[in-house]
């Protein structure tokens, strides 16, 4: 019996990734990480900055995402995100640039608690990659 | 009749114009391919986004407390129109078509006694609207500097719109852009983005039971602003593909017209050259005869 389902990651510019031999995906959902296996109940959730881990028959991949929405339905997982980077070929310089921008944003005075939480998260994740 | 020298000059000037239009056509064709590609690649994202929102909105039980971006302010007084045009000219009827469509809508709004506010994206739209509607234009945005359409720019427009909505500056928001069908046909579109219209495919998802994490309301209020940026981004992509397509066919026509004109002028030039020769011959012969 196969335990695989299909995964599609899209960003505004293009369809980033399509795989149909995924066994498990771990996503950084807003209220904590979710691991999704086959036949998971239909779910919609959104992501905070973090790492998506994709386990498939062809290996394991990790991606950094800034934000996003996931939808799982009929063994199709769609992830919509505005910024996604593959950790394998990631550019250290670009990472530090993002980190710097985030830190600057954090210093703005009119920031809401939720935004602050998200930005903190982002910095933490970025640090852990670097 | 124009003198031979004048004709010669005209022929060479038409020829050099033809060269320019030909080059512009080539450039537009190359750009068109890229723009078309990115428009097609961008479609899955906006489609998926739309789907998720449809699913969400059908799951929301308490319509009255739904986010305002979805249900609207409950009024229909102030309309905000985002008119998206190009930054460059020489692209046939591209800008004019959008403006025409938008003006029809403006008239309707004004006749109904509602308040009209306009944001123009792209300089050409502003140029065409500023005379008639300069009092209504509240903001103008241009992305002359950015080479390609990117999400960041769209997000900027989206944020402007949302900010104005939250300040209760308008009730309904409509965007105008050209939808790319093929090189010859671009269809001017008006699309209402606030409040969101969900009438299209409401039936297909009603039986799905989703689990939401966090609550529906919270997801929706996070998602809706993103959706607005996404829709604007989609419109920008479609627009840029349309612009290049429109420019390509316009320049193709111009090149052909210039070719026809060169042919006509050449015939005229040859005729008058022959006429001059014949005239000279007649003069010589009649001169010799009179001796």
Domains of chain A: 5-86 (2.60.15.10), 92-129 (no CATH)
Percentage of chain A beyond pLDDT 70 is 98
A113 interfaces chain B, CB cutoff of 8 Å:
no
pLDDT exceeds cutoff 80 at A1: no
Which residue of A9, A10, A11, A12 to mutate against B (max B Cβ within 10 Å)? A12
With contacts defined as CB-CB under 8 Å, which chain B residues touch A8? 44
Selected residue with higher pLDDT from B207 and A24: A24
A75 interfaces chain B, CB cutoff of 8 Å:
no
Q: Residue B149's closest chain A neighbor by CA?
A: A13
Residue B199: its pLDDT value, please?
53
Structure tokens at B290: 């009179």
Reported confidence tier of residue B61, pLDDT bands at 50, 70, 90: low
Distance CA(B173)–CA(B155), nearest Å, equals 16
With contacts defined as CB-CB under 8 Å, which chain A residues touch B212? 43-45
Residues in chain B: 291
B236 interfaces chain A, CB cutoff of 8 Å:
no
pLDDT exceeds cutoff 70 at B136: yes
Q: Return mean pLDDT, chain B.
A: 86
Q: For residue A24, which of A52, A1, A44 has the smallest C-alpha distance?
A: A52
CA-based nearest distance B11→chain A, Å: 46
CA-based nearest distance B145→chain A, Å: 19
- Please tell me which residue in B7, B28, B91, B149 is annotated as part of the active site: B91
**CB–CB contact B212 A44 (8 Å):** yes
Segment A114-130 mean pLDDT: 78
Complex-level ipTM beyond the 0.85 threshold = no
Structure tokens at B96: 């004019």
Residue B203: its pLDDT value, please?
47
Lowest mean per-residue pLDDT among A44-58, A92-106, B133-147: A92-106
The sign one gets for the Cα dihedral B142, B33, B151, B222 is positive
B2-24 pLDDT, tens digit per residue, is 688 999 999 999 999 999 999 99
**CB–CB contact A44 B154 (8 Å):** no
Q: For residue B91, indicate whether it is catalytic.
A: yes
Reported confidence tier of residue B64, pLDDT bands at 50, 70, 90: low
B239-242: which pairs have CB atoms within 8 A and are 24 or more residues apart?
Answer: B239/B84, B239/B85, B239/B86, B239/B177, B239/B178, B240/B35, B240/B38, B240/B39, B240/B86, B240/B149, B241/B32, B241/B35, B241/B36, B241/B38, B241/B39, B241/B180, B242/B94, B242/B177, B242/B178, B242/B179, B242/B180, B242/B186
Percentage of chain A beyond pLDDT 90 is 9
Selected residue with higher pLDDT from B124 and A88: B124
Q: Return mean pLDDT, chain A.
A: 84
Residue B27: its pLDDT value, please?
93
Which residue of B44, B50, B166 to mutate against A (max A Cβ within 10 Å)? B44
**CB–CB contact B41 A15 (8 Å):** yes
**Domain B22-250 maps to which CATH number in 3.40.1380.10, 3.10.129.10, 3.40.50.300, 3.40.50.620?**
3.40.1380.10
pTM of the predicted model, to two decimals?
0.83
Element (H, E) at B69: helix B68-71
Reported confidence tier of residue B198, pLDDT bands at 50, 70, 90: low
**CB–CB contact A12 B154 (8 Å):** yes
A61 interfaces chain B, CB cutoff of 8 Å:
no
Cβ-proximal residues to B182 (8 Å cutoff; 6+ apart), any chain: B245
Segment B105-111 mean pLDDT: 91
CA-based nearest distance B214→chain A, Å: 7
Selected residue with higher pLDDT from A51 and A88: A51
Residue B182, CB half-sphere, CA atoms under 13 Å: how many?
Answer: 1
């Amino acid at each position: 019996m196969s335990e695989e389902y299909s995964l599609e990651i899209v960003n505004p510019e293009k369809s980033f990734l399509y795989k149909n031999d995924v066994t498990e995906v771990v996503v950084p959902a807003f209220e904590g990480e979710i691991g999704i296996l086959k036949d998971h109940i239909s779910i919609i959730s959104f992501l905070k900055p973090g790492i998506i881990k994709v386990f498939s028959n062809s290996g394991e991949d990790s991606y950094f995402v800034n934000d996003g929405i996931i939808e799982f339905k009929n063994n199709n997982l769609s992830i919509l995100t505005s910024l996604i980077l593959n950790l394998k070929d990631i550019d250290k310089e670009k990472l530090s640039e993002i980190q710097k921008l985030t830190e600057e944003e954090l210093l703005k005075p009119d920031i809401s608690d939720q935004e602050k939480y998200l930005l903190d998260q982002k910095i933490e994740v970025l640090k852990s990659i670097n | 009749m124009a003198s031979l020298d004048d004709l010669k000059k005209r022929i060479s000037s038409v020829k050099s114009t033809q060269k320019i239009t030909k080059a512009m056509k080539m450039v537009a064709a190359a750009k068109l391919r890229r723009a078309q590609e990115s428009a097609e690649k961008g479609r899955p994202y906006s489609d998926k986004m739309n789907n998720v929102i449809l699913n969400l909105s059908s799951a929301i039980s308490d319509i009255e407390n739904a986010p305002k971006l979805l249900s609207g302010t409950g009024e229909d007084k102030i309309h905000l129109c985002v008119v998206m045009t190009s930054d460059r000219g020489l692209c046939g009827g591209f800008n004019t078509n959008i403006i025409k469509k938008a003006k029809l809508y403006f008239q309707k709004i004004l006749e109904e006694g509602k308040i009209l506010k306009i944001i123009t994206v792209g300089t050409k739209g502003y140029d065409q609207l500023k005379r008639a509607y300069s009092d209504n234009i509240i903001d103008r945005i241009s992305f002359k500097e950015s080479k390609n359409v990117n999400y960041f720019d769209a997000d900027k427009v989206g944020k402007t719109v949302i900010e104005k909505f939250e300040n209760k500056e308008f009730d309904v928001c409509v965007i105008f852009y050209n939808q790319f069908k093929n090189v010859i046909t671009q269809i001017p579109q008006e699309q209402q983005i606030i409040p969101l219209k969900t009438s299209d495919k409401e039936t297909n998802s009603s039986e799905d039971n989703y689990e939401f994490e966090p609550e529906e309301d919270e997801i929706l209020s996070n998602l809706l602003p993103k959706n607005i940026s996404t829709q604007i981004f989609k419109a920008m992509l479609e627009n840029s593909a349309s612009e290049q397509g429109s420019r390509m066919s316009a320049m193709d026509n111009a090149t052909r017209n210039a070719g026809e004109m060169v042919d006509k002028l050449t015939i005229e030039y040859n005729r008058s050259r022959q006429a001059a020769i014949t005239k000279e011959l007649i003069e010589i012969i009649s001169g010799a005869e009179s001796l």
